[in-house]
Copies of this chain bind each other. A is one copy, B any other.
């Protein structure tokens, strides 16, 4: 069997298409062209067509894409059609905010378990989900069929949390801790590091460019 090898960048765009398609669907627009999707997503029409073509031919030449059909197809490609269960580890400020945000907004990726080591938090609830001790993590994840882990603990705890999640059967991790996780082959890690985002943004500010220490010209 051939390996299609689809760019990670393309996968990241699929949820954007999904969101815009839902907006069109809500507005009862039955068909959209790649040009219209481009207008709303900010990506080029060619890129959109290419991204979709990686997974098959979903459009009709001369017409466009059926919004309802394409939306379903993308959900299916991402594995969202059956619903995906996630576990959150770390109920601090950020974890708490993410849990509330996610639980209120997402239905396709649902946080079904929350873990924290703080005895004061264990037993309390965030939007109906009870906070449990890490000792229950592996068993609960296995029992619930959790596939995505979200790590919002301090950097020093992150690796241990990742290992528990993986032992619990998690295959993809969203890591907010400023730490490089070592994971076995087959586990996907996506890092979101606020410090990195803010510090790299500083570069695009005129302050960093002004006082140019020019190295050596060639």
A residues contacting B by CB (< 8 A) are 1, 3, 5, 8, 11-12, 14-16, 18-19, 40-42, 55-57, 76-80, 82, 84, 86, 93-94, 96-98, 100-102, 105-106, 108-109, 147-148, 150, 171-175, 178, 180-181, 183-209, 211-218
Contact = CB atoms under 8 A, between A and B. Distances in A.
A148 B86 CA distance: 32
A78 B147 CA distance: 37
Contact of A198 (B86, B171, B196, B212): B86
Contact of A208 (B79, B150, B192): B79
Given A200-B12, A207-B82, A207-B147, A19 B215 contact: no
B208 A78 contact: yes
Given A1-B209, A148-B201, 7 more contacts: A8-B216, A14-B203, A76-B213, A78-B202, A94-B97, A109-B201, A187-B215
A183 to B, nearest CB: 6
A217 B185 CA distance: 11
Count copies of this chain in the complex: 2
Contact of A148 (B109, B205, B217): B205
A112 to B, nearest CB: 13
Given A98-B194, A215-B57, A217-B180, A188 B208 contact: no
A113 to B, nearest CB: 15
B184 A215 contact: yes
A213 B205 CA distance: 37
B196 A15 contact: yes
